[in-house]
Structure 1
């Protein structure tokens, strides 16, 4: 079960055509994977809190805007962007190394 649909992403990004659907589908998978890898809590029947949807939408928007990240990008250093981490932090149990 996906956290967001392609139609939700297109509405969020204000896309009117289907031209970018293949890229958006890849971005959705990558964003959902990043979000679900970051959190440590588990959910029955994959029913995620609404902040998961917002987190994925933010990530997809960032992937779409920053197609080739550079040092000014918000996506750096193998970490989720700060706004996404802030939304997901309550669903993560920090680990000690």
Structure 2
């Protein structure tokens, strides 16, 4: 097994970054947005069958998760797709480990 180096641990984004991406002002939806942030991060990691974002690929995973959050937020009325958006999958497909 290869050596694994973890340089830093932390969130992919802050709530302020996500709210700017969503063009949300005010704090009314903060709790919902924070839940979506956690869900999107888990969704991209689960899609890739990994537990940590690959070192040096934080920006790619951040954008993929932001797109997932946008999809969740836009369809928050309950009609949301459970699947990761195609645009997110396209970005992170190179980092996906397929289980056999």
The bucket for the TM-score relative to the shorter chain is 0.7 to 0.9
Aligned length: 88
Over 4 Å off, 4+ runs = none
Which of 44, 65, 86 matches 1:82? 86
Counterpart residue number, 1:26: 35
CA-to-aligned-CA distance 1:27-86 (integer Å, 9 cap, x gap): 000000101111245535xx64311111111111111111112xxx5x24xx32211110
Counterpart residue number, 2:5: none
List alignment gaps of at least 5 residues for structure 1: none
User: How far did 1:9 drift?
Assistant: 0.4
Counterpart residue number, 1:2: 11
State the TM-score, normalized to the length of structure 1: 0.79
List alignment gaps of at least 5 residues for structure 2: 1-9
